[in-house]
Amino acid sequence: PKEIFLKDHKLPDYYFDSVDLNFLLGEEKTIVSSKITVFPRVDGSSPLVLDGADLKLLSVKVNGEELKNGDYHLDSRHLTIPSPPSGTFMLEIVTEIYPQKNTSLEGLYKSSGNFCTQCEAEGFRKITFYQDRPDIMAKYTVRIEADKSLYPVLLSNGNLLGQGDLEGGKHYALWEDPFKKPCYLFGLVAGQLESRDDTFVTSSGRNVSLRIWTPAQDVHKTAHAMYSLKAAMKWDEDVFGLEYDLDLFNIVAVPDFNMGAMENKSLNIFNSKLVLASPETASDADYAAILGVIGHEYFHNWTGNRVTCRDWFQLSLKEGLTVFRDQEFSSDMGSRTVKRIADVSRLRISQFPQDAGPMAHPVRPHSYIKMDNFYTVTVYEKGAEVVRMYKTLLGSQGFRKGMDLYFKRHDGQAVTCEDFFAAMRDANDADFANFLQWYSQAGTPLVKVTSSYDAAAHTFTLKFSQEVPPTPGQPVKEPMFIPVVSGLLDPSGKDMPLSSVYHDGALRSIANNSEPAYSTILRVTKKEEEFVFSDIHERPVPSLLRGFSAPVRLESDLSDSDLFFLLAHDSDDFNRWEAGQVLARKLMLSLVVDFQQGKPLVLNPKFVQGLRSILCDSSLDKEFIAKAITLPGEGEIMDMMEVADPDAVHAVRSFIRKQLASELKADFLSLVENNRSSEEYVFNYPNMARRALKNIALAYLASLEDQELTELALHEYKTATNMTEQFAALAAIAQNPGKIHDEVLADFYTKWRDDFLVVNKWFALQAMSDVPGNVENVRNLLSHPAYDLRNPNKVYSLIGGFCSSPVNFHAKDGSGYKFLGEIVVQLDKINPQVASRMVSAFSRWRRYDETRQNLAKAQLEMIVSANGLSENVFEIASKCLA
């Protein structure tokens, strides 16, 4: 397999101007004809090299003349025309493809009887020969012809120019997209679909038709997606002044889809999971995910489509930025603090481990074998943190100025991360020091802080040191530019007014005009440096990295009592939560040591007390409380250990949960009582928050394995009128194996067997179970009639779910590793992208003890030596072994 490097990037020798595509969709095969206007970037005859994969070439014409074999060269990846005519010419290619047999779900394929496409990153080359790279931007006209009764709906990008009936029961549709686009944004859908229709009036008064397409029986489940779409359109106008640019916006939901969704110009194609929702079948988390992803794909219309990426190394240019935008959108629609907590947790649970493992790569990777492997939490979520830092440094208005300049300079272009950086800098005349390191250095910086108070001088000093750990290919790192938003709390818990800070030989005033400031940004840029606050008349407790102002690990010298103080008082709610998490992490780590040494486990009463005061604080947002009483995950704790010990961490986390449940039982019971509701389900923030708090209380209570409390959970299960509460009760019961557990799981399946999205939840819940030896149950589920290895969502639920249970995936007998190894090899033959996501579960294998290491390594070696292995899986598995 060939590795591709950013440093080798070259401009294309040819550009395309207009592209006419004609699709004859058939049951056995599909014929694709393309007609492309090609022009050279510079005159001089260089070969034209087109990408292609799994295509049968029927003919090639240049300026109307058919090329004979010999006038072109064909291999398994390219079609090369060695000496094309000079100047602009017309290229016509006809290929034959087999969407029915395409189980990779990239290119053109069938999902539940309908045709659909997925071209990002490099799927277009499975449709026809093309320069499949994002800087080839062209205007597309697309004609689709198909059987009318089988495929009554024919969709592509842009505006519908015409449609009509043809002989032999066929019909056609002709689409034209007036905007230039790269081929990864091409989309086509044909099938039996119905739509929910609505209209959005843009700020300049244009009417946009909105249509969400699904099979007829699911149209009633698209109301929330439509609501989300309209909210997103309005939000982008209000916050960024960005208006939609066509008269039609289509969304199609398909059940078989590798990723979450795809932002094809005016024809977004979605995994059904992220469109379909009704109160009975979807949980609050599903509703929130739909809001976020509908927003995300819509926002791509500007950040991704109007301005796209020069090459795939720049993926974060559009993804980091668009994730940031969807995070902000969701914050504005719900609770900013809670959304921030959820996003930071996600970063810690998924991205930090990636940054510390064999797949560590910068936000802008330096190389790849398969680009699909780089749609990662680093490019997306860490990329969003990088964008967020611009906003932190520039403020909302400065950030908006930068965005405006970015669009003014680059509309219609394919650009780089430096272009975005330059727009932010130039619009604000800003000094960003070595900020660009965030794009090129992998690894999570470790920032250490110590503090000291000088009562005589009235100064408070913060000493910072930073270190960016070595990552594959990057043994030595430069210091980064880390914005640390900080405040100082006085002994009553209030923010102290900050007047000035001495740093780097200069005194900087913090107060702005005569207004005192209560928070300031410390620009940490060196390996070691200090900041001295003046006019501090009492010893403060510092609140650092407020709002998680940079994606770093922070270690401070704060004592437990400082942390309890912050938990109780910090004006930055994110940092209140964070103080609780720091305490919980310390506590869990010390209990893990006790457990390993065979000492009895005892829970610090101060911790219980701290949580109780949060639990009983009626002034707090209910979902904030739910987050604050959620312990850090097992993976997070294992990441902090020298040698990860899944059994010890699991035992400790379960112990703390039970202990909290029993000591706070009365509080939890009243939370369940007081947060029931008889009203109909409404998706709004207060209701979601109420349900979140009730559900976590129920989960704690059920962990006690007490008859009465199991009955309570059963009662909640039976009386629930929405999926959020029904599923939470089911999950609470499912913690404890036994008769009730079996009966309720069976009941749930019987209820929902006809709804594949709900059945996936049922698979996931069983797969994630901590019951020892669960691998056998999961193996049995593979042959359940509702299971299908070809459907990515089912794989993510059952196999992905299983790998997320540390005790079972990392079972000491190697049964979990063996199971995954077998599945990966099997799955790779069907769908390499999905297989490669699954194999990533092995990536932290070196963190475990020797026995486990040997068992995991053996599976990785078995995978790497499998016959006909895909490049996708090879890249991940071989990096894991390197």
Q: Which residues have a catalytic role annotated? A: 297
Residue 496 CA to residue 538 CA, distance in Å, equals 9
> Sheet harboring 159-166: ordered strands across?
65-66, 56-62, 89-97, 30-40, 14-24, 138-147, 170-181, 159-166
689, two tokens: 């928050």
Residue from 263, 311, 381, 578 binding ligand DPP (CB under 6 A): 263
End-to-end CA distance of the chain: 15
Residue 291 CA to residue 298 CA, distance in Å, equals 11
Residue 221 CA to residue 211 CA, distance in Å, equals 13
Residue 632 CA to residue 653 CA, distance in Å, equals 9
Among 525, 244, 467, 485, residue whose Cα is nearest residue 388? 485
Task: From the list Zn ion, ligand DPP, none, pick the one residue 623 interacts with, judged by a Cβ distance below 5 to 8 Å according to partner type.
Answer: none
Residue 243 CA to residue 206 CA, distance in Å, equals 10
Q: Which residue number, 122 or 319, has a Cβ lying nearer to ligand DPP?
A: 319
Burial 858-875 (b: 16+ CB within 10 A, else e): ebbebbbebeebbbbbbb
Applying the rule CB under 6 A, the residues between 343 and 382 that interact with ligand DPP are 375
State yes or no: residue 262 binds ligand DPP (CB under 6 A).
yes
Residue 498 CA to residue 486 CA, distance in Å, equals 10
Applying the rule CB under 6 A, the residues between 290 and 329 that interact with ligand DPP are 296-297, 300, 319
Window 187-226: contact mask with Zn ion (x via CB under 5 A): ----------------------------------------
**Contact region with Zn ion (CB under 5 A), list: 321-329, 408-416, 587-595, 703-711:** 321-329
Task: From the list Zn ion, ligand DPP, none, pick the one residue 246 interacts with, judged by a Cβ distance below 5 to 8 Å according to partner type.
Answer: none
**Contact region with Zn ion (CB under 5 A), list: 139-147, 269-277, 314-322, 520-528:** 314-322
DSSP state at residue 374: G
DSSP state at residue 314: G
712, two tokens: 């309570």
Peptide bond into 282 cis (omega under 30): no
Within 411-475, residue ranges assigned H as helices are 417-428, 437-440
Query: HSE on the CB side for 137, CA within 13 Å?
Result: 19
- Per the CB < 8 A criterion, the answer to whether 601 and 655 are in contact is yes
Task: From the list ligand DPP, Zn ion, none, pick the one residue 624 interacts with, judged by a Cβ distance below 5 to 8 Å according to partner type.
Answer: none
Q: Which residue number, 126 or 300, has a Cβ lying nearer to ligand DPP?
A: 300
- Shortest Å distance, C-beta 730 to ligand DPP: 31
Q: Which residue number, 319 or 725, has a Cβ lying nearer to ligand DPP?
A: 319
- Shortest Å distance, C-beta 337 to ligand DPP: 25
Residue from 174, 259, 360, 693 binding ligand DPP (CB under 6 A): 259
* Matching residue, tokens 């400790």: 652
Q: Which residue number, 261 or 356, has a Cβ lying nearer to ligand DPP?
A: 261
**Contact region with ligand DPP (CB under 6 A), list: 42-50, 260-268, 330-338, 460-468:** 260-268
- Shortest Å distance, C-beta 347 to Zn ion: 17
- Shortest Å distance, C-beta 808 to ligand DPP: 30
- Shortest Å distance, C-beta 117 to Zn ion: 16
**Contact region with Zn ion (CB under 5 A), list: 318-326, 639-647, 650-658, 867-875:** 318-326
Residue 861 CA to residue 235 CA, distance in Å, equals 49
776's CB contacts (< 8 A; 6+ apart) are: none
**Contact region with ligand DPP (CB under 6 A), list: 254-262, 473-481, 554-562, 827-835:** 254-262
Task: From the list Zn ion, ligand DPP, none, pick the one residue 330 interacts with, judged by a Cβ distance below 5 to 8 Å according to partner type.
Answer: none
Task: From the list Zn ion, ligand DPP, none, pick the one residue 120 interacts with, judged by a Cβ distance below 5 to 8 Å according to partner type.
Answer: ligand DPP
Q: Which residue number, 55 or 262, has a Cβ lying nearer to ligand DPP?
A: 262
DSSP string, 248-263: EEEEEEES--SSSEE-
Q: Which residue number, 324 or 375, has a Cβ lying nearer to ligand DPP?
A: 375
Q: Which residue number, 291 or 648, has a Cβ lying nearer to Zn ion?
A: 291
Task: From the list Zn ion, ligand DPP, none, pick the one residue 879 interacts with, judged by a Cβ distance below 5 to 8 Å according to partner type.
Answer: none
Applying the rule CB under 6 A, the residues between 100 and 159 that interact with ligand DPP are 120
SS (H, E, C) 808-857: HHCCCCCHHHHHHHHHHHHHHHHCHHHHHHHHHHHCCHHHCCHHHHHHHH
H and E: helices and strands count for the chain? 29, 33
Applying the rule CB under 5 A, the residues between 433 and 462 that interact with Zn ion are none
* Total count of residues recorded for the chain: 882
Q: Which residue number, 375 or 432, has a Cβ lying nearer to ligand DPP?
A: 375
Burial 638-677 (b: 16+ CB within 10 A, else e): bbebeebbbebbbbbbebbbebbbbbbbebbeebbeebee
Give burial (CB, 10 Å; 0-12/13-18/19+) of 788. Answer: middle
Applying the rule CB under 5 A, the residues between 657 and 716 that interact with Zn ion are none
**Contact region with ligand DPP (CB under 6 A), list: 18-26, 219-227, 255-263, 636-644:** 255-263
* Matching residue, tokens 């900050």: 498
- Shortest Å distance, C-beta 381 to ligand DPP: 11
Task: From the list Zn ion, ligand DPP, none, pick the one residue 262 interacts with, judged by a Cβ distance below 5 to 8 Å according to partner type.
Answer: ligand DPP
Residue 829 CA to residue 496 CA, distance in Å, equals 62
Q: Which residue is nearest to ligand DPP (CB)?
A: 259
- Per the CB < 8 A criterion, the answer to whether 391 and 399 are in contact is yes
- Shortest Å distance, C-beta 763 to ligand DPP: 23
- Shortest Å distance, C-beta 300 to Zn ion: 6
Window 322-341: contact mask with Zn ion (x via CB under 5 A): x-------------------
Q: Which residue number, 120 or 578, has a Cβ lying nearer to ligand DPP?
A: 120
**Contact region with Zn ion (CB under 5 A), list: 106-114, 317-325, 523-531, 605-613:** 317-325
- Shortest Å distance, C-beta 296 to ligand DPP: 6
Give burial (CB, 10 Å; 0-12/13-18/19+) of 395. Answer: exposed
- Per the CB < 8 A criterion, the answer to whether 522 and 463 are in contact is no
- Shortest Å distance, C-beta 184 to ligand DPP: 8
List the Cα angle 62/65/70 in 5-degree steps: 75
Q: Which residue number, 304 or 487, has a Cβ lying nearer to ligand DPP?
A: 304
Window 707-726: contact mask with ligand DPP (x via CB under 6 A): --------------------
- Shortest Å distance, C-beta 16 to ligand DPP: 21
Residue 540 CA to residue 521 CA, distance in Å, equals 17
Size of the site for Zn ion (CB under 5 A): 2
Q: Which residue number, 272 or 575, has a Cβ lying nearer to ligand DPP?
A: 272
Q: Which residue number, 297 or 636, has a Cβ lying nearer to Zn ion?
A: 297
Size of the site for ligand DPP (CB under 6 A): 10
Q: How far is C-alpha 127 from the chain's CA centre?
A: 27
- Shortest Å distance, C-beta 204 to ligand DPP: 26
Residues making contact with Zn ion (CB under 5 A): 319, 322
Residues making contact with ligand DPP (CB under 6 A): 120, 259, 261-263, 296-297, 300, 319, 375
